[in-house]
Amino acid sequence: MTTMLGLELAGRRVLVVGGGPVAARRVQGLLTDAAHVVVVAPAVCETLRDQHRWGLVEWHAREVAETDLDDVWLVHTATGDRGADAAVAGWARDRRVFCVAAGDAAQGSARTPATTRSGDVLVGVVSNGPPDPARTAVVRDGLAERVRDVVDEHLREGRVDLRARRTVDEGRVVLVGGGPGDLGLLTIAGRRALAVADVVVVDRLGPVEVLDELAPGVEVIDVGKTPGHHPVPQHEIGRILVEQAQRGRVVVRLKGGDPFVYGRGGEEVLACREAGVPVEVIPGVSSALAVPAAAGIPLTHRGTVGAVHVMNGHDGWSQAGLVGLRDASCTVVVLMGVAVLADLVGRALEFGAAPSTPVAIVESGTTGAQRVTRAPLGEIVRVAGRVGVQAPAVIVLGDVAAPGLLDASPALGPEHDTMTT
């Protein structure tokens, strides 16, 4: 009976005997596992020669000797000479070192499974009985073909509970950009991160429905903010991330949009680094780009405009934004601008922006509640008040916001168009 084991080879000496394409494939897999690879062969193929030249492998240009097995953890023999492979396998057996014999698997004491990898999870197929590598590969490929959709949905997209079951000494934080709201716009990398999370610290925006897919026992901490109401201040969010990670937990900070586009992700990264907590960032689809697109509004359009300026409404107008708006030289996208819409419009008009400048406000973009309201700059405050525009919303100012620019572009949900009234 064959038992499948996972071997930790990082930094450990592994001997590969042979210098042809088969040996090169084995070496590539070992390098992926960060093994210290030693190749013994009178000549090697170009791939192995390059790896030796780059310092990735240690190569001894001669025939193999029994002493080459000193201090090695694993042996792969792929000389193409069945007698030579059998001799190496015998030396390994005498020394109680596991050996994979590529030419005749029965000669070896270990086998390499046909594998497929997803993140840090490796799925392998191996014969339980007489070695048959070709059959194993066919079975793997057949299974992969038949269950491709299941694998993509559950393993590659992180829909399997991948959390570690053993306590680790060092936790970590992963900032995940969840996108503007539609669950389909959460990246596969983001889903994978959620699949290994012990704790999810979540905003009110973004794909909150993904929380229903979390495995039982995953702790969810809601730190969501609404306009004018911030029950968990930013410094407290940083403290929560650090504290949870210091308990040896994998902490996912699920944020709407992209963490580094007005998401205060930089502050959270600094909080972790100052506390010595490992932190990584998984980018997300920014609402500044995705929401206008979902409403059929191209932020750039050949022959219309070729630049985009993104701003936070609460920070007020920048000089670049005002100049671009006045000269119609760029599209201006405003995030978090509904509450200060009147002030923004007043300032733009004072600076010289044309009252006829097209404006579109897209509420709850990419979701089933999406709604688009359009009006000229001089009328948008009145129209937005009349229809009851509410956050979250993205405001687009410029010629691309005019109706009819892309007649074939669909817009989700109802649309209030007063551009011609």
Q: Which residues are catalytic?
A: 203, 225
Question: What are the Cα distances from residue 232, in Å, to 107, 203, 226, 228, 266?
Answer: 64, 10, 11, 12, 17
User: How long, in residues, is the chain?
Assistant: 421
Strands (E), 153-299: 172-177, 199-202, 219-222, 250-255, 279-282
Q: Give the number of other CB atoms < 10 A from CB of residue 176.
A: 30
What's the rounded Cα separation, in Å, for the pair 101 and 82? 9
Closest CA to 268 of 243, 291, 244, 239: 239
Q: Are 337 and 395 in contact (CB under 8 A)?
A: yes
Secondary structure of 13-76 as H, E, C letters: EEEEECCCHHHHHHHHHHHHCCCEEEEECCCCCHHHHHHHHCCCCEEECCCCCHHHHCCCCEEE
CA–CA distance, 20 with 383 (Å, rounded to integer): 73
**Pick from 1, 3, 9, 4: which is nearest to 76 by CA?**
9
Listed residue (306, 350, 308, 342) closest to 326, CA to CA: 350
Task: Give the count of alpha carbons within 13 A of 251, CB side only.
Answer: 27
8: left (phi over 0), alpha (psi -120 to 50) or beta: beta
Instruction: Answer yes or no: are the C-beta atoms of 346 and 353 closer than 8 Å.
Output: no
Query: Which residues have a Cβ under 8 Å from the Cβ of 90 and sit 6 or more positions away?
Result: none
CA pseudo-torsion sign 400, 258, 391, 317: negative
Question: Distance between CA 240 and CA 250 in Å, rounded?
Answer: 12
- The full DSSP string for 3-14 is -------TT-EE
For residue 138 the two structure tokens come to: 């066919």
CB 159 within 8 A of CB 191: yes
DSSP state of 211: G
